[in-house]
Homo-oligomer: A and B are copies of this chain.
Amino acid sequence: MPLTKKPVTGMKDILPEEMAVRNYCINVIRETYAAFGFSSIDTPVVEHIENLLSKQGGENEKLIFKILKRGEKLDLSGPTTEEAVTDSGLRYDLTLPLARYYSAHAAELPSPFKALQIGSVFRADRPQRGRFRQFTQCDIDVLGDPSPLSEIDLILATTSVLEKLGFKGFTIRINDRKLLRAIAGKAGFPEEDFEKIFITLDKMDKIGMDGVRAELSEHYPEDAVQSYLSQFADREGALSEADLRLMEEVGSELPGIIAAVDAVKSADFRVQYDPTLVRGMGYYTGPIFEIAMDEYGGSVGGGGRYDGMIGRFTGQETPAVGFSIGFERIIMLLLERGFSVPGSAEKTAFLVDKKMPFAKTAEIFREAMALRASGHTVDIAQMKKNRKFQKEQLTQAGYTEIREFFSE
């Protein structure tokens, strides 16, 4: 019986060329974050269904791949429900497993704990170009440090990674949930509506100021909407006096964070206060940030402070702040640029005649091993009938030298 050849809907096989770029990036990420004191950890891709459905994942909870119970625990003998027949599912992000991990292992971990996770997450989204149902996320999180030192270091670390991968000229958009709330409050919106209002504000990029105005005007008096939106007039450059006053009033750390990153950064990027930045997840409590890249026309990463979440699970208050790189987007951008992994080894192919006696074969292998020990890549293969085609393929695969060994 022939196999179904394509991968399952919405997931993809990774060919050698892309995989080389992915592995290179993962190594750059690990090395760079390690220099900032982050420790790599890992969690299972399978998570308890009750954790996945614990209301931290927002819309993602609708997209869970659920796993069927096994053995006696599974009863399909009559009408039943998803809840009754599943006990686990595939993780849709790395934040929830991190919260579980930290609640289980805090006693064995230093405080603050600086974690790096690179791993697959799964969302049964409608398949569309460039979005996959299995994709890699790359998160750093600092758990247990309430100070803005963490925000500064997260931004410096992530921009260092991007710089090492050859990106420049990007912008770190930064805002603070405290400012979002203060501005909405001053405009007279009721507090229980804030999250809904932020969801509308978040569409500014897509539907523009007029679109946001129209959407808000359906529910709120025009003067409130007008007063609110006047705060988001086009803005560039440094913080205004009014910005600074508001930040001081609500105790936002943004001025210090922006000043420190600006003073320290060596890389070519900007940090820009953006009062319209929302970030989707309701669990953020303080500074939030996002990486905007013109050539992509969207976010290639983001994060923020979420001081409440870990404590809600562990019962022990734990300040937390995280930054996630849009790994798949970074890879896509690098591939589009024709990025090639630097410092690749010289590649030599040995083609060996089918009738080669074994004494001679051993000599050939000895030579290959010596070359490999000196840093070369050496491929050994039997000569094929269509030697010309075989050599063309090897050249295409980057073999710059091809040596042929004949038995006579």
Contacts and interface: CB of A to CB of B under 8 A. Distances in A.
A149 B375 CA distance: 21
A108 B393 CA distance: 10
A43 interface: yes
Nearest to A6: B104
Q: Which of A16, A70, A103, A260 has the most CB of B within 10 A?
A: A16
B381 A349 contact: no
Nearest to A376: B35
Contact of A365 (B46, B79, B156, B361): B156
Nearest to A76: B80
Nearest to A19: B40
Contact of A134 (B46, B65, B375, B377): B46
A23 B40 contact: yes
Interface string A8-45: 10011111100110110001001000111101111111
Contacts of A207: none
A179 interface: no
Contacts of A87: 8
A189 B87 CA distance: 47
Interface of A is mostly: mixed
Interface string A188-204: 00000000000000000
Contacts of A109: 15-16
A5 B264 CA distance: 39
A2 to B, nearest CB: 6
Q: Which of A50, A78, A314, A382 has the most CB of B within 10 A?
A: A382
A100 B380 contact: no
A342 interface: no
A325 B362 CA distance: 24
Contacts of A354: 147
Contacts of A22: 42
Interface string A257-274: 001100110100000000
B40 A16 contact: yes
B379 A105 contact: no
Contacts of A58: none
B361 A260 contact: yes
Interface string A126-165: 0000000110000000000111011011001000100000
A349 B110 CA distance: 13
Given A7-B43, A35-B377, A266-B369, 20 more contacts: A1-B54, A2-B314, A3-B51, A7-B104, A8-B88, A12-B44, A13-B41, A13-B43, A13-B101, A15-B41, A15-B108, A19-B39, A23-B40, A46-B133, A68-B68, A78-B79, A110-B397, A146-B382, A149-B352, A259-B358
Interface of A: 1-8, 11-16, 19-20, 22-23, 27, 30, 34-37, 39-48, 50-51, 54, 65-68, 70, 74, 76-82, 85-88, 90, 96, 99-101, 103-105, 108-112, 114, 120, 122, 124, 133-134, 145-147, 149-150, 152-153, 156, 160, 255-256, 259-260, 263-264, 266, 313-315, 345, 347, 349, 352, 354, 358, 361-362, 365-366, 369, 372, 375-382, 384, 390, 393-394, 396-397
22 contacts: A2-B103, A3-B51, A3-B100, A5-B103, A7-B43, A8-B47, A12-B44, A13-B101, A13-B104, A15-B109, A16-B39, A37-B380, A44-B134, A45-B120, A65-B70, A66-B67, A76-B85, A111-B393, A145-B382, A256-B361, A260-B361, A260-B362
